[in-house]
Structure 1
Amino acid sequence: MLDELLAAWIGRQRWFGGKGRPIDDLSIESDVELAPGLRHLVVAVWQEGSRDRYQILLGERTELPDRLSHALIGLLGDVYVYDAVHDPDRTSRLLDGMARDETDNGLRMRHVPDITIDTDQRSLVLGAEQSNTSLVYGDLYICKLFRRLIPGVNPELEIITALAARGAPHIAQPYGWIETDLDGTDTTLAIMQEYLCNANDGWDLALTSVRDLYASLPELPAADAGGDFAAESQRLGVATARVHHELAEAFPTDVIESHEVKRMAETFRRKLGRAVAEVPELRPHVSAIEDAYHQVDLLTHVIPVQRIHGDYHLGQVMRTPTDWVVLDFEGEPGQPLAERRALYSPLRDVAGMLRSFDYAARHLLAGHSEAERLEPRAAEWADRNRAAFLEGYLEGGGVITRGDAALLRAFELSKAVYEVVYEARNRPTWISIPLAAFRPR
């Protein structure tokens, strides 16, 4: 009966990865009672012959208060079952378990050595996430629960604990984690870190700057309009370079030879070919994109590779009162763990942030009645902040040689090709944003 309730409920959750496809079967693989009225479930969901696993904190109450009505899963006899992440009376169990390094029927709750967790904090669910669920405990901790489970240690846990051990300044300090075994492999269920309660999201700050620029009368240059963001972009570039340095010190590094670089360029071309077949709007830009990829073919020097962020953009950074902090070292969502943990050129992260500046500049123009008039201002803002970020990256110790510049351009255009396909599938009115990347700069 419970599996039937879960099957009817799970498809409506924002973090469920199989939306739009029928659920063929759902089974409960693991059911651990963590406390009276609180169970930890691992459920297997079968769709079109493939299986995904999800974790659920299942609450049980004979009476359900109004504050939890939105979390209701269903009624089993006279017991209400619900998504207990929304119940601070139940989620305190996670905090207690990490504080005490408890193991409960295969669930291992751990804290970082030499730290103390304040177990008096009550939780609140953050509502913005799509694929995970984050609980904020007071103003001290944020605990990210990975809803869709992939066997293995999550790259974020691996990276933040290694960087914290080195005293790296541009990360949110880790406090604890929860893990279990899936398919005989240590698998990360949750990570708890410092909650940056006095910080601002990088994307929001950038959009505020863009709004100020568009609203300025008379139409001032970006450097003179209120809310200029270039100084922050430069500081972010410094922080990015320092994070890359810390990653190179904490994990193995390598180089790729010219034949492997050519193979990378060929991968870019294959993706471009598939994208053009799906989105005809790309066709006028193919020649310019292929010219950029050809410049990568001409590279003869080795390319350093290392652990990187892997999904780097303005939404992954926070501005604290003192500096920038980088978050979410999971890598690109949906990719296999081995790929997310692989070594890449740090220029891939740089390219991701450059694309994010373009998105911030043009995001407000999608569907705007004066988009054509404001487009030159968008380009000016993007160019100014891209240049400031690159200046900061070099100042912070990042390396971009003349040959690297060709690789950076190829990474950026490949990302823009991916964005065009994404927007065509999901937000057709936004397709002009990534298409602008192919104009001469």
Structure 2
Amino acid sequence: MSEAASTRVAMADSTALLPSLAPLLHEWLPRQRWFAGKGQPITAFSLVSATEVLPVDSPAVGAGTGAGLLHLLVRAHQPSAPAQWPADCYQLLLGVRATLPPRSAAAVIGRPADGPLAGRAVYEGLHDPRLAALLLERLRTPGSLGALRFDRGGAPIAAGAAPRVLDTEQSNTSLVYGDAYILKIFRRVFPGTNPDLELPLALAREGCGRVPAPVAWFEATAPEPLTLGVLQPFLRGAEDGWQLALRALARGHDFTVEAHALGRATAEVHTALAAALPTPALHRGQTEHLADAMVRRLEAAARAVPALLPYVPGLRTAFDAVASLGDRGRDWAAQRVHGDLHLGQTLRAADGFWSLIDFEGEPAKPLTERRRPQPPVRDVAGMLRSFDYAARSHRPWNAAWAARCRTAFCEGYAAASGMDPRGEPELLRAHETDKAVYEVLYEARHRPDWLPVPMAAIHRLAAVAD
């Protein structure tokens, strides 16, 4: 039996693979931006699946080079995880070579001391253009490969586009192929269909052009379906709304035309989602659950960030007002929404056309929660907070700029949907308060220098109760 064949047999068995990689992953995984369990030790790893996308020593990459691409789904067990929840599952694409080329040196993970890959260099495969190109080839030809299934829409996918990794992702990794496609690789994966595949497909069926339609995608098929990656058209030349807003502030320019257009785009997406997917009403029980969840998040955040404590009574009135209206029989429409809408999730083309991207929702939340129908004002509140963030990132703080943008966005939304989000002030205030509380907790943990930005909103929102 040849070395290549024996390696494939060992990989197919996979019993020795993870133990040999575990010492390397213990060091490497916590350093990745997309690893969610920072600050807690990893006590063990367990293998969910292992698939050779390109077998080690495959002739496709040159005889004797020792190159291969392994796809792993691995659970990282940590003591902080609740006992009733499964450990976080991560998607890894590992390059394997006998000799690592200089261009991949920065992506190295290590060399296993034993097991089927003993002595070989293991590295982040997405940073190897030859290996990253294999993913596009797999997506061009739908079918199954081990535990993986590759699917695509009806349009053919052009071949030969050179891949490059974007360095702006936090919770995921994105590859751009030429100027034609962008492939988002979900790193922390959950059972079920990811909203970043589900919602753009639904919007495409409704003919909504505000969201790039998925071209292809791939999933894990066992032991349960998991969305792993989505390929979409790359909007060449488009600029994200956050950078555009900061540029306008730096130059002293108004941003209300752009904010109004963003409001229209958001309303069009909401209208299409409401047509494509169920739109249940929030009755008394659901409204009480919504308000109670906001209160629990506020109390948990105040325990973690003592600066919030003086504001808790005033902030809680926002949630109590929603619960009170529900008790009196007030219903609200709910539907699928973006779930994490802000300026950085928008793109403007050279002709001024706005698109919304990244429908994954807040990655820290369970997938079932992210897929739950919610009031559309949740997205509106997220964008209103984003205008405030942009204005406060500029010196001096331009409160009037943010206020004009907030008004223009709501007016644009109303013009396209017929519903002004300011017409539901209690619900809008509750969602904006909930978002600001989330921001305080995030900034306190990750960017303490930014904490004054959401704290200014906390001060304003708590004062509304006075």
TM-score by length of 2: 0.84
Is 2:118 aligned against 1:86?
no
Query: What are the within-5 Å matches in structure 2 for residues 38-57 of structure 1?
Result: 38-48=69-79, 50=81, 51-57=87-93
In the alignment, which residue of structure 2 is the partner of 1:433? Answer: 453
Is 2:211 aligned against 1:171?
yes
Is 2:232 aligned against 1:206?
no
Q: Do 1:3 and 1:28's aligned partners in 2 also have CA atoms closer than 8 Å?
A: no
Is 2:369 aligned against 1:339?
yes
The letter of the residue matching 1:351 is: A
The letter of the residue matching 2:247 is: T
Q: Do 1:59 and 1:82's aligned partners in 2 also have CA atoms closer than 8 Å?
A: yes
In the alignment, which residue of structure 1 is the partner of 2:341? Answer: 312
Q: Do 1:3 and 1:27's aligned partners in 2 also have CA atoms closer than 8 Å?
A: no
In the alignment, which residue of structure 2 is the partner of 1:412? Answer: 432
For residues 385-437 of structure 1, the C-alpha deviation after alignment (integer angstroms, 9 at most, x for no partner) is: 00010010001115236751221111111211222232233333322211222
The letter of the residue matching 2:130 is: D
In the alignment, which residue of structure 2 is the partner of 1:110? Answer: 151
Q: Equivalents in 2 of 1:237, 1:200: separation in Å?
A: 17
Is 2:249 aligned against 1:249?
no
Q: Do 1:241 and 1:398's aligned partners in 2 also have CA atoms closer than 8 Å?
A: no
Aligned CA distance change for structure 1 residues 33 and 238 (closer, same or farther; 3 Å): same
| Displacement after TM superposition at 1:253 (Å) | 0.7
Q: Give the unaligned 5+ runs of structure 1.
A: 214-226, 366-373
Is 2:416 aligned against 1:396?
yes
What secondary structure does 1:312 align onto? coil
For residues 150-178 of structure 1, the C-alpha deviation after alignment (integer angstroms, 9 at most, x for no partner) is: 12111111111111122211001211001
What secondary structure does 2:24 align onto? helix
Q: Do 1:92 and 1:119's aligned partners in 2 also have CA atoms closer than 8 Å?
A: no
Q: Which of residues 34, 40, 49 in structure 2 aligns to 1:30? A: 49
Aligned CA distance change for structure 1 residues 49 and 311 (closer, same or farther; 3 Å): closer
Aligned length: 416
Q: Do 2:422 and 2:428's aligned partners in 1 also have CA atoms closer than 8 Å?
A: no
What secondary structure does 2:424 align onto? helix
Q: Give the unaligned 5+ runs of structure 2.
A: 1-19, 59-67, 82-86, 113-117
Aligned CA distance change for structure 1 residues 288 and 26 (closer, same or farther; 3 Å): closer
For residues 59-107 of structure 1, the C-alpha deviation after alignment (integer angstroms, 9 at most, x for no partner) is: 1222221110011112244422211101111122111111110211121
In the alignment, which residue of structure 1 is the partner of 2:30? Answer: 11
Q: Equivalents in 1 of 2:29, 2:338: separation in Å?
A: 30
Q: Equivalents in 2 of 1:204, 1:180: separation in Å?
A: 35
Q: Do 2:377 and 2:421's aligned partners in 1 also have CA atoms closer than 8 Å?
A: no
Q: Which of residues 274, 297, 318 in structure 2 aligns to 1:271? A: 297
Aligned CA distance change for structure 1 residues 60 and 398 (closer, same or farther; 3 Å): farther
Q: Do 1:97 and 1:110's aligned partners in 2 also have CA atoms closer than 8 Å?
A: no
| Displacement after TM superposition at 1:23 (Å) | 1.8
Is 2:356 aligned against 1:326?
yes
Q: Equivalents in 1 of 2:313, 2:450: separation in Å?
A: 23
Q: Do 1:94 and 1:109's aligned partners in 2 also have CA atoms closer than 8 Å?
A: no
What secondary structure does 1:190 align onto? strand
Is 2:256 aligned against 1:230?
yes
Is 2:132 aligned against 1:72?
no
Q: Do 2:322 and 2:426's aligned partners in 1 also have CA atoms closer than 8 Å?
A: yes
Q: Equivalents in 1 of 2:182, 2:168: separation in Å?
A: 14
TM-score by length of 1: 0.89
Aligned CA distance change for structure 1 residues 20 and 294 (closer, same or farther; 3 Å): closer
Q: Which of residues 384, 387, 392 in structure 2 aligns to 1:362? A: 392
Q: Equivalents in 1 of 2:136, 2:425: separation in Å?
A: 47
Q: Do 1:106 and 1:181's aligned partners in 2 also have CA atoms closer than 8 Å?
A: yes
In the alignment, which residue of structure 1 is the partner of 2:183? Answer: 143
